Amino acid sequence: MTGERGLDGPGTSIWQGFTVRLRAVEPEDWEYFHRWGGDDVVARATDAVPFPESRAATRSWTEHEANRERSNDRFRWVMVDADDSPVGTINTHSCDRLAGTLSFGLAVAPERQGEGFASEAIRLVLRYFFDELGYQKVNAHVYAFNGASQALHENLGFVQEGRLRRMHYAAGRHWDTLVYGMTREEFAAEQAGKLPPMGAPDQP
Ligand SMILES: CC(C)(COP(=O)(O)OP(=O)(O)OC[C@H]1O[C@@H](n2cnc3c(N)ncnc32)[C@H](O)[C@@H]1OP(=O)(O)O)[C@@H](O)C(=O)NCCC(=O)NCCS
Spatial distance between the Cα atoms of 47 and 149, rounded to a whole number of angstroms: 13
pLDDT at 194: 94
pLDDT at 34: 98
**Percent of the chain clearing pLDDT 70 (strictly above):** 93
Candidates 116, 143, 111; CA nearest to 44 is: 143
pLDDT at 70: 86
pLDDT value at 43 more than 80: yes
CA of 113 to the centre of ligand 1 (A): 7
Domain locations along the chain: 21-191
pLDDT value at 88 more than 90: yes
Candidates 96, 88, 138; CA nearest to 113 is: 88
- Give the domain 21-191 fold: Aminopeptidase (3.40.630)
Contact 88, 58 (CB under 8 A): no
pLDDT at 192: 87
pLDDT at 147: 98
Helices within 5-141 (DSSP H only): 30-37, 40-46, 55-66, 117-127
The mean predicted confidence, pLDDT, of the chain is 93
| Residue from 104, 152, 191 whose mutation best tests the ligand 1 pocket (most atoms within 8 A of CB) | 152
pLDDT at 5: 46
pLDDT value at 152 more than 50: yes
Q: What are phi and psi of 194, to 5 degrees?
A: -95, 5
pLDDT at 136: 98
CA of 24 to the centre of ligand 1 (A): 22
CA of 165 to the centre of ligand 1 (A): 23
Instruction: Tell me which of 9-18, 51-60, 191-200 is least confident.
Output: 9-18
What is the band of 203 on the pLDDT scale with cuts at 50, 70, 90?
Answer: low
CA of 69 to the centre of ligand 1 (A): 30
pLDDT at 11: 58
Tens-digit pLDDT profile for residues 173-188:
999 999 999 999 999 9
pLDDT at 204: 62
Enclosing H/E stretch for 96: strand 86-96
